Amino acid sequence: MKRLLLSFLTVLALSLNLAAQEIDTIPIPIKDMEIRLKRSPLPSRTGIIKFEPVELRPALVQAKINYWKSKATVGINVNQASFSDNWKGGGVNSIAIGAAVNYKAEYSKESYSYTSEVILQYGKVKNKDQLQKKTNDRIYWDNKAAIQMSKNWYFFASLNFESQFDKGFSYSKDAQGNEQAKLLSKFMSPGYITESMGFEYKPSKAFSTRIGTGTARQTFVLDTTLYKTNANNFGVKRGTKIRNELAFQIVSNLEKEIMKNLILRSKYNMFIPYDNFGHIDHRLDVAFLAKINRFMNVSLTGVILYDRDMDLKVQSSQALALGLSFTFPR
């Protein structure tokens, strides 16, 4: 009986399943049928949605474009040596101090630019039982305004001033072996003011060359008695204070980091007077600056100068220094 009932239920379930499958798959045409959805018992409400504009206040940023860039470097070098009276290695007590300031400001906006550079250098050494002697002395101030003509060419006008701080001497000894000093130069004796205009070639930030087709230079020797100890008197006629010259000038500048923490700075100046093309002045300044750490550096500088108004031979100077250096801004 149980088996019969179980078999009946199984057959009934299979029949219902087959019937359900057949019902689900039978298509029912509803085109002509009126089918209405029952109304929702929940209350409905229609209305107008209002959109109101929201006022947004823009945030103002107090930012200004600065077209100026400036950099200043201050260096101080001190050297000192002392020996006891019985020091058999030989030597002389001495102290030397030197200072240098290099300031550069640049303005650049669109095709216009202006550059001002100041170089101040001074140094002295004092050896025991000897006169004080200068190791460095220079004042240099250069100003240049330029208008860009093409990618690498500019039209420029410049004005620069050059002189020295202190008196300059040559030294000799008298018959008794005492040192004697002969005055050679002083502040504004000589002094130079140079105005120039022409074209500048600047293919990169590291290198530039000025070609001053219209250049004028005034040489000042304000001490009119200086010719008594300096026969050439820097080309200024004896008894007068100023000499004017018109010339063609080339000034080239190079500043590049040739190795990590090693910078090469070089400036070459050629001056050719229009009234005497055979009288060409040359000056080459070269400096290697090696940075040891944040505040210490080593500098090797050299100058080669040829100016017939000073001397018929080539002049040169060289200095090696270890000292402190501060750069602003850092």
What pLDDT digit, counting tens, does each position of 86-110 carry?
887 778 888 999 999 999 999 999 9
User: What is the distance between the alpha carbons of residues 110 and 254, in angstroms, rounded to a whole number?
Assistant: 24
pLDDT for the residue numbered 151: 93
273 Cβ contact partners less than 8 Å away, ≥ 6 residues apart: 245, 246, 247, 279
User: What is the distance between the alpha carbons of residues 111 and 123, in angstroms, rounded to a whole number?
Assistant: 40
Handedness of CA 70, 321, 162, 211 (dihedral sign): negative
| Amino acid identity at 192 | Y
pLDDT for the residue numbered 82: 87
Handedness of CA 228, 230, 232, 238 (dihedral sign): negative
Helix (H) / strand (E) element for 268: namely: strand 262-273
Residue 104 near residue 71 (C-beta atoms within 8 A): yes
The 8-class DSSP code of residue 42 comes to S
Domain boundaries, the chain: 68-328
Helix (H) / strand (E) element for 23: namely: helix 2-24
User: What's the token pair of residue 293?
Assistant: 């750490």
pLDDT for the residue numbered 14: 60
User: What is the distance between the alpha carbons of residues 216 and 249, in angstroms, rounded to a whole number?
Assistant: 9
In percent, the amount of the chain with pLDDT more than 70 equals 85
Q: How many residues does the chain have?
A: 330
**pLDDT band, very low/low/confident/very high, at 233 (cuts 50, 70, 90):** very high
Residue of higher predicted confidence among 89 and 224: 224
Give domain 68-328's CATH number out of 2.20.28, 2.40.230, 3.30.420, 3.40.50. 2.40.230
pLDDT for the residue numbered 91: 80
**pLDDT band, very low/low/confident/very high, at 33 (cuts 50, 70, 90):** low
pLDDT at residue 20 greater than cutoff 70: no
pLDDT at residue 169 greater than cutoff 90: yes
User: What is the distance between the alpha carbons of residues 230 and 190, in angstroms, rounded to a whole number?
Assistant: 11
Average pLDDT, the chain: 88
Helix (H) / strand (E) element for 20: namely: helix 2-24
pLDDT for the residue numbered 49: 78
Residue 60, classed as helix, strand or coil, is coil
**pLDDT band, very low/low/confident/very high, at 50 (cuts 50, 70, 90):** confident
User: What is the distance between the alpha carbons of residues 37 and 326, in angstroms, rounded to a whole number?
Assistant: 89
The DSSP bridge pattern shows strands 262-273 and 153-163 to be unpaired
User: What is the distance between the alpha carbons of residues 123 and 77, in angstroms, rounded to a whole number?
Assistant: 9
**pLDDT band, very low/low/confident/very high, at 28 (cuts 50, 70, 90):** low
Pick from 243, 248, 161, 254: nearest CA to 212: 248
In angstroms, what CA-CA distances link 211 with 266, 275, 279?
Answer: 17, 18, 18
In percent, the amount of the chain with pLDDT more than 90 equals 61
Q: Write out pLDDT tens, residues 244-262.
A: 999 999 999 999 999 999 9
Mean pLDDT of the region 211-225: 96
User: What is the distance between the alpha carbons of residues 321 and 157, in angstroms, rounded to a whole number?
Assistant: 35
Ramachandran region, residue 170 (left: φ > 0; alpha: ψ -120 to 50; beta: rest) = beta
Query: Which segment of 56-70, 105-119, 185-199, 297-311 scores lowest on mean pLDDT?
Result: 56-70
Residue of higher predicted confidence among 224 and 80: 224
pLDDT for the residue numbered 159: 97
Query: Which segment of 17-21, 35-39, 169-173 scores lowest on mean pLDDT?
Result: 17-21
pLDDT for the residue numbered 52: 83
Pick from 330, 258, 250: nearest CA to 287: 258
